[in-house]
Amino acid sequence: MNIRKSILLRVRLAFLAVLIFSLGIIYRVSVVQFVEGEQWRELAQTIGLKVMETPATRGNIYSDNGSLLATSLPFYQVAFDPYLPSDGLYYSGIDSLCYLLSNFYKDLSPQQYKRKIHGARKAKRRYIFLNRQKIDYQDKKMMERWPIFREGRLKGGIIFEKAEERFLPFSHLGYRTIGTVNADNRGVVGLEYSFNRQLAGKDGQAIHQKMAGGGWKPVYDGTEIRPVDGYDIETTINVNLQDITETALLKALDRHQADYGVAIVMEVKTGEIKAISNLSRNPEGRYYERYNYAVGSQGSREPGSTFKLASMMALLEDSNIELSDTVDTGEGELKFFTEVMKDHKPGGYGVLTVKEVFEYSSNIGIAKLITNHFGRDPQRFVNYLKDLELSQPLGFQMVGEGKPYIKEPSDSTWSGTTLPWMSHGYELRMTPLHTLTLYNAIANDGKMIRPVIVKSIRKAEKVLEDFETITLNGKVCSHKTLEKLKIMMEGVIERGTAKNINDAKYKVAGKTGTAKKVKNGRYTNEYYTSFAGYFPAESPKYSCIVVIDNPKGYHIYGSDVAAPVFKEIADRIYATEIEIHDHYIARTEDFTGIFPLVKSGYQEDLIYLCNELGISNHAESSDLEWVKTRIVGNSILWKQNNVSSQLVPDVRGMTLRDALYVLENSGLRVEIEGRGRVKEQSLHPGTRMFSDHKIKLTLG
């Protein structure tokens, strides 16, 4: 009896549903709710109805200045109800419509389109795809003006099925960090995945009716549930700095044929990630962004000598040792229990000061210092590392952060060689981002902050959630220790392992790192090279780390491989950000005498001026073009002012017209302040420049 009642109820409900749809009755009870109920789903499908999702528009991803990094663009597939247009409308426009369709899609002739549409109209089919090819919004607007279509959905039968696609305006710039989406418009990796909940929004639902041929036509009866579009996220990424970073890293990877490379640029005070690049080598030898080694677990490696910063910090904090104290590193080899430790320099460094141990990156020196002080209580050394937040993940905003590993004395693998090898970056693991966070703390006067890559979640102009800077450690060490660490890091560039990058006109502080790679539990002759530091050292604006894995050829050390990449990134950033420049003022002694207005410029013009005024003038050479002034008695001596396309010209003392001519011909972009002749210039004369350098001139 119950079975008969159930069948009867199902039949009645089916009849009611068909009646409602056939009569087009508008009712308040949601058909979506009726059809999507578990008990009615099977019934709905038997009468050709199905609840289908209406995708929400995915939110945008923006850079730090509002540039679009990722957005969803609307595309459409063109469907048609050929039975809906009246005979008069249909026959008056079908020929023109078919001609336009053929000319646009170039797949069928006008006659073939006409036969296709005629056949569907004769068969009373209510829904056909004219072409599966997707069109953009501009094409849609154009088609809406075509014959028949211009009457719209209700009279003309035109149906534009929306299908959005993710678009990256800057192509592959920051590709892995921004991330990708799958066919269901869901984030797969990167920020797209980490912030998928906010970006994705909430899909809507609508009734679809099955049509002849197997297609599903949406039934817009006012009962559909509208989708809720996703929120936008504002990142900290700077497009210009990202481009600079990727370009420098790619050049080095190509040069050294390395397996992969990482480069991160962080703003010191805020912890904002301004650029992050991960490039891996594919079997064809090309580099692309495959995995986020900067953050992910596969990038958590033995850091090598960049870890000596943490070791030195622990030593200086826990002892009374001074930078001038000495340690004998011997002839470059020293046996610790069963293992032999070596220094990079053949024959060894001999006796070094503590400062030189760091500057020259002596493995033996740091190992002896650490084992002599912490050897009886290695747990105390490990505790210092824990206090530096080096044993736990940073809590970074992106999913998949690699977990660091700091070995404990209680571990079964701890041995007599562990402490000396830990002191220079072995038997522990850290990601490049974690290492950079430590170096950034030194640049930030000891304050360690959590890196941030997303600043806010937005809905249009309304901020829904702000991500503020979070302090991980308010003071990683005493002020006294901090100053000593800064001195040593600057010494690495001035005298130590990275002196090859010490030709800039601004100070850099940092540390090189080179670690042997482990394969099958054994150390190999493949290397993991790195450089971490900050600039300008006097007033740090940015910190940066560069990692290059397994470089090939003669150059295999961090000083030769990673440090030059750091320098190129720093040089390019320094060139484009005038606010971090030291200004170079025209020296008054160059222009002393009785001719204060004759200072510098184009020799031919200046000679003409002096001759007109009756001023005695002479030149060092007859073929000079751009000159500086030197006063000799009551005469002017013209001296060569070298203007090179590779070096920043000296325009101090020139008129604005001459200065602009020289600088703009050199490819520099000029900003001007004041009136008169050039008194100051923001780039030091004679330094190497790039074509996109900015230079600020102060006139007076």
Convert 269-282 into a string of H (helix), E (strand) and C (coil): CCCEEEEEEEEEEC
Q: What residues contact residue 103 under an 8 Å CB cut-off, 6+ apart? A: none
Dist CA 272 CA 369 (whole Å): 35
If pLDDT is split at 50, 70 and 90, which confidence band does 380 have? Answer: very high
Q: How far apart are CA 634 and CA 56, in angstroms?
A: 81
Mean pLDDT is highest, among 167-176, 368-377, 616-625, for 368-377
| pLDDT of 691 | 58
Rounded distance between C-alpha atoms, residue 260 and residue 263, angstroms: 11
For residue 446, what are the contacts with CB-CB under 8 A and spacing of at least 6?
A: 474, 475, 476, 477, 479, 482
The tens digit of pLDDT for each residue in 494-532 reads 999 999 999 767 899 999 999 988 777 778 889 999 999
- Model confidence at 203: pLDDT above 90: no
Q: What is the mean pLDDT of residues 309-326?
A: 96
Higher per-residue confidence, 98 vs 605: 98
Q: 659 and 640 in contact (C-beta within 8 Å)?
A: no
**Percent of the chain, pLDDT > 70?**
83
Encoding tokens for residue 503?
A: 């030709």
Q: What is the mean pLDDT of the chain?
A: 85
Residue 254 has pLDDT above 90, yes or no: yes
Q: Say whether pLDDT at 623 is over 70.
A: no
In Å, how far are 30, 33, 43, 122, 612 from 220, measured between CA atoms? 12, 15, 20, 24, 88
∠ at Cα 547 (546, 553), nearest 5°? 115
**CA dihedral (493, 495, 497, 501) positive or negative:** positive
Residue 102 identity (one-letter amino acid):
S
Report the 10 Å Cβ neighbour count for 383: 15
Residue 304: both structure tokens together? 């090598």
CA–CA distance, 306 with 7 (Å, rounded to integer): 76
Average pLDDT (459-485) is 94
Task: Give residue-wise pLDDT tens across range 171-197.
Answer: 888 888 999 998 787 899 999 999 999
The pLDDT value recorded for residue 325 is: 96
The model's confidence at residue 25, banded by pLDDT at 50, 70 and 90, is very low
Going from the C-alpha of 350 to that of each of 330, 498, 513, the distances in angstroms are 5, 20, 21
pLDDT of 37 over the 90 cut: no
Query: What would the mean pLDDT of 606-627 be, rounded to a whole number?
Result: 72
Q: Which amino acid would we find at residue 139?
A: D
The DSSP secondary structure of 264-322, one letter per residue, reads EEEETTT-BEEEEEEEEE-TTS-EE--S-TTTBGGG-B--GGGGHHHHHHHHHHHS---
Whether residue 249 contacts residue 568, with contact meaning beta carbons closer than 8 Å, is answered with no
Furthest CA-CA distance within the chain? 126
Long-range contacts of 550-555 (CB under 8 A, 24+ apart): 550/258, 550/259, 550/517, 550/526, 551/256, 551/257, 551/258, 551/527, 552/256, 552/257, 552/258, 553/256, 553/257, 555/256
Q: What is the amino acid identity at position 522? A: R
d(CA 383, CA 493): 30
User: 32, exposed or middle or buried, with CB in 10 Å at 0-12, 13-18, 19+?
Assistant: middle
Per the model's pLDDT, the better-predicted residue between 153 and 150 turns out to be: 150
Say which residue the tokens 């296709």 belong to. 116
Q: How far apart are CA 336 and CA 392, in angstroms?
A: 29
The DSSP string of 354-395 is: HHHHHHTT-HHHHHHHHHHHHTT-HHHHHHHHHHTT-SS---
pLDDT at residue 594 is higher than 80: no
Residue 595 · residue 629 · CB < 8 Å: yes
> What's phi and psi for 540, nearest 5 deg?
-60, 130
Name, in order, each residue with C-beta under 8 angstroms of 384's C-beta and a sequence gap of 6 or more: 310, 313, 314, 317, 318
Choose between 430 and 23: higher pLDDT.
430
- For 423-436, how does the pLDDT look when each residue is reduced to its tens digit (9 = 90+)? 999 999 999 999 99
* Structural domains for the chain: 54-204+225-233 (3.90.1310.10), 242-309+390-402+416-574 (3.40.710.10), 584-699 (3.30.10.20)
